[in-house]
Structures are given as structure tokens and as C-alpha cells.
Amino acid sequence: MSNPLTRADVDRIARLAHLELTEREAEQFTRQLGDILAYFERLNRIDTAGVAATTHPVTSAPVMRDDEPRPSLPVDDAFGNAPDRGGERLFRVPKVIG
């Protein structure tokens, strides 16, 4: 079976996923993901016309709580794992607008 996935597909998906890939990774994923997608073809043997989709295995009414303020994570804890705080209460990131 021909590979259902092209190198251009892999490059496009990597951009969508915000994932830089090395040349070696892109080549390897083209082959491996192609094999896996070909394996998925067997699902087409099943007629699923009219079958409901299971999005979640347990269907129960959403659990809602009263919309009342309550204590949340302290600010210092919330920022505690940030690689660059750039100040007291900021996540610093590279420049977004040139």
C-alpha cells in the first residue's frame, strides 16, 4: 500500500502542532505515521452509518456548583513554575509584535 502520508503533510501537521522537527524526525514520522494510518484503514470494514458517537464513556448531567467566589491558588504558587517571570506577576515571553 502506498504511504497515505506525504512529507508535506508531516511538515504541515508539525506547524499546526507547534512542533519543530529535525530532518531525521520528519523522515521517520512520515514513514511511521504512514504505517499507522494504513493500519487504521481496517476501520472502514465496519459500517458505522447511523451509529451514535461516544464522546465520553459515562453520560451524566454536568455537575454545576453555585457561582460564588472562593479562594484560589495563591498568585506566587501560580507563577512558581514559570521559566521566566520577568517580574513579580508576569509570564515573560519573546516579543509578539515586531
Binding residues (CB under 8 A) for another protein: these are 5, 9-10, 13-14, 16-22, 25, 29, 32-33, 35-37, 39-40, 42-43, 46, 48, 51-58, 60, 62-63, 65, 73-74, 77-78, 80-84, 91, 93-96
Q: How far is the CB of 62 from another protein (least distance, A)?
A: 6
Q: How far is the CB of 31 from another protein (least distance, A)?
A: 11
User: Is residue 64 classed exposed, middle or buried when 0-12, 13-18 and 19+ CB atoms within 10 A define those classes?
Assistant: exposed
- Computed on alpha carbons and rounded to an integer, the radius of gyration of the chain in Å comes to 23
> Contact 3/31 with Cβ under 8 angstroms?
yes
Q: How far is the CB of 14 from another protein (least distance, A)?
A: 7
> Contact 59/52 with Cβ under 8 angstroms?
no
Could you give the CA distance from residue 19 to residue 15 in angstroms, rounded to a whole number? 6
